[in-house]
Amino acid sequence: MTGTADTDTTAGPAPVPEALRARALEALTAARARTALLTECVDDGELMTQHSPLMSPLVWDLAHIGNQEEQWLWREVAGREALRPEIDPLYDAFAHPRSERPSLPLLGPAEARAYAADVRTRVLDVLAGARLEGRPLLDAGFAFGMIAQHEQQHDETMLITHQLRKGPVALDAPPPPVHPSGPLPDEVLVPGGPFTMGTSDEPWALDNERPAHTRTVAAFHLDTTPVTNGSYLAFMADGGYTDRRWWHPEGWAQIREHRVVAPLFWSQEGGRWLRRRFGVTEPVPEDEPVVHVSWYEADAYARWAGRRLPTEAEWEKAARYDPVTGRSRRYPWGDADPGPDHANLGQRHLRPARAGSYPAGASPLGVRQLIGDVWEWTASDFLPYPGFRPFPYKEYSEVFFGSEYKVLRGGSFAVDAVACRGTFRNWDYPVRRQIFAGFRTARSAELD
């Protein structure tokens, strides 16, 4: 059940303006470096190609990033005259579905790069002189943080496009670190009771994460780690894709119509399952979290296992609640920003880490990998929190609220830390499989 607005104590004292300016500069610079890597590793022809009707051409994302930065930081924050107002309709994500974007008169690769670079040069001058206070868009550097998050979100989208593209390998990264550990329990008991969900104090939190409020959940058990490929293979071997009992009716119709028999990018050869990962075909690693499954597949597996998907509130309580202090942390490990020992983030490894990794990132209750590796489907529809107010524009969240979308939590290996925190909410259609999504399961403690 939902209570009244609560005091959020997770963010700590506000940093001084110069520290905020440095943080914004670092976030913007890191995002642009990632964008450059994703768009310079292939030739211009690949940038202009639509590799899947589900995705935009990479060159559209590149110019869209620059256009959003121009609109919000150059025009809105700095109050300057528009640089390229004539291209606004081309890069309005609501004006044209992805399937139509290749037919638009888009900026070519060289022009898109030049435009984004010109905007960035101007924006850095704006940042150098901005007060970072005085109005909501500028308080704590919010507008700059919003744009850094937007660019990193498109970097994840572009990485999805790279996964979908055919052709020679364009990206590479080292494997995730190995964290030796003893056997872990299959599940963890999360105590029932109230906790603070959402945030009112996190400076760069987006509107759908706000405000902080009290939420009460009953005690439940949650998987210690995300469901692995090995466990999912057992579901498949037991006829999971052919037994209607486990499937939501819409999910059953989807897998029958499209003849789905395994996660996306999997294939069977010589009696063993293989997967394609950024152009490389390799055996499915049984100890990694399963990825590229839809909400329907996650829900079916949970039913087959005699369990269920956790609600969004359950997921956040497991990720943030400290039973010793009773407060909600920013992250499972505490309030410190994510480091490389906490979570698999930032496209450092281009794959999930082995289940049970990152002990330094565990929650107080011992749940592993709640942040990073794979987005985790929850049972919940994407709905506003009590007291929600759209900011700075209703199209970011408000137009998506409803039963059409399911909430995902936690972030994936493709997400940067600036766009991932214990309160961050992602959402997508339950049929989506190309995204870097997995899941973990839960069961109610009252059934013990």
pTM to 2 decimals? Answer: 0.94
Q: Exposure of 288 by Cβ count < 10 A (0-12 exposed, 13-18 middle, 19+ buried)?
A: buried
Among 203, 20, 199, 143, CA closest to 396: 143
CA atoms within 13 A on the CB side of 127: 29
Instruction: Report d(CA 412, CA 350) in Å as an integer.
Output: 10
Beta-bridge partners for 277: 280
Report yes or no: 165 and 58 within 8 Å, Cβ to Cβ. Answer: no
Q: Is residue 379 classed as helix, strand or coil in its secondary structure? A: strand
Per-residue pLDDT of the chain (448 residues; tens, 9 = 90+): 333 334 444 445 556 789 999 999 999 999 999 999 999 999 999 999 999 999 999 999 999 999 999 999 999 999 999 999 999 999 999 999 999 999 999 999 999 999 999 999 999 999 999 999 999 999 999 999 999 999 999 999 999 999 999 989 999 999 999 987 789 999 999 999 999 999 999 999 999 999 999 999 999 999 999 999 999 999 999 999 999 999 999 999 999 999 999 999 999 999 999 999 999 999 999 999 999 999 999 999 999 999 999 999 999 999 999 999 999 999 999 999 999 999 999 999 999 999 999 999 999 999 999 999 999 999 999 999 999 999 999 999 999 999 999 999 999 999 999 999 999 999 999 999 999 999 999 999 986 6
